[in-house]
């Protein structure tokens, strides 16, 4: 029987986004404040996922052995380091979150059955690497506050209350929504980036946070005049809004996760949005004469 196990580790390090072949003005235009000398630091949190068969002792691996491998191959070098100079690989490709995750995989894969590397630069930014060449995932989290009412306009108050309960009350209610946007793309071999992080943050702010924040979704967002703003439908709409802007940045939207409350959340994958669009564009069997 196969099982996935996870081991957590952490290290503190600094880095700088700076390409010597660019001028100072070009570096600051490209990387913003992260180009400042001598760099800036983070408390990184690392999760190493490993897959394997359960042995006679009920383990995939001895976690004590795993701990020592991670320390020997990764954290010994990276903890309290200046990442740009910690490993030779970071001289060629900048130590972005996504590239650090990839390089950690490459260091650990000869010694452990790694299935995923997840690296948190801070609680609102993390990367995942699954061993697929230069492909990686980057997640940015943010939040907005909004009110909504769950009620279909074609149903009576009693019918809506039967379906949506207290959420159908006429004056609505509000949430502090927590949003996670995950993009997928190829790590640039020089900058180490899937997409420009500042541009990605701006796209999320411009297309979602600013329009949605402190609104009554049913009344202030035209899309929800006839679409019930459940967490699921809000996530779908956010995905629709972000697909094209993210594509223009050279990456692809992978997933939207919307946390409505500590008890409720939903996830929408961009591939399902694309499939739904194709289905809507295709004629029905009857119209096609099938």
Is 167 considered catalytic here? Answer: yes
Looking at 135-177, list the stretches that DSSP marks H as alpha helix, in order from N- to C-terminal side. Answer: 157-164
How far, in Å, CA of 159 to CA of 170, rounded?
Answer: 13
C-alpha torsion sign, points 135, 17, 195, 98 = positive
Catalytic residue among 111, 214, 225, 248: 214
Is 266 considered catalytic here? Answer: no
Taking residue 200's Cβ as centre, other Cβ atoms within 10 Å add up to 22
Do the beta carbons of residue 176 and residue 213 sit within 8 Å?
no
Say if residue 47 is exposed, middle or buried (CB neighbours under 10 Å; 0-12, 13-18, 19+). middle
Catalytic residue among 89, 124, 143, 167: 167
How far, in Å, CA of 145 to CA of 213, rounded?
Answer: 5
Catalytic residue among 73, 121, 180, 260: 260
Taking residue 2's Cβ as centre, other Cβ atoms within 10 Å add up to 9
Strand partners, 1: none
Secondary structure (DSSP) of 66-113 = HHHHHIIIIIHHHTTEEHHHHSTHHHHS---HHHHHHHHHHHHTTTS-
Is 124 considered catalytic here? Answer: no
Active site residues: 167, 214, 260
């Amino acid at each position: 029987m196969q099982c996935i196990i996870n081991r957590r580790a952490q290290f503190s390090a600094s880095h700088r986004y700076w390409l010597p072949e660019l001028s100072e003005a070009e570096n600051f235009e490209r990387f913003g404040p992260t180009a400042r000398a001598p760099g800036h630091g983070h408390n990184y949190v690392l999760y190493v996922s490993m897959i394997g068969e359960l042995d006679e002792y009920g383990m995939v691996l001895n976690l004590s052995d795993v701990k020592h491998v991670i320390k020997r191959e990764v954290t010994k070098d990276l903890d309290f380091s200046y990442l740009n100079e910690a490993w030779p690989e970071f001289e060629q490709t900048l130590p972005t979150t996504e590239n650090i995750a990839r390089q950690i995989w490459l260091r650990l894969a000869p010694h452990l059955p790694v299935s995923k590397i997840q690296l948190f630069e801070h609680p609102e930014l993390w990367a995942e690497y699954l061993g697929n060449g230069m492909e990686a995932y980057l997640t940015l989290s943010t939040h907005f506050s909004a009110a909504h009412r769950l009620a279909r306009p074609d149903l009576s108050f009693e019918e809506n209350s039967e379906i949506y309960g207290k959420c159908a009350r006429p004056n609505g209610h509000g949430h502090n929504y927590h949003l996670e946007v995950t993009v997928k793309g190829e790590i640039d071999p020089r900058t180490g980036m899937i997409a420009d992080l500042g541009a990605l943050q701006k796209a999320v702010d411009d297309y979602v946070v600013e329009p949605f924040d402190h609104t009554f979704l049913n009344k202030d967002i035209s899309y929800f005049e006839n679409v019930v703003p459940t967490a699921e439908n809000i996530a779908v709409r956010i995905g629709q809004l972000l697909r094209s802007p993210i594509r223009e940045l050279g990456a692809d939207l992978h997933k939207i996760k919307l946390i409505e409350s500590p008890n409720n959340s939903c996830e929408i994958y961009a591939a399902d949005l694309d499939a739904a669009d194709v289905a809507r564009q295709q004629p029905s069997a009857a119209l096609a004469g099938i």
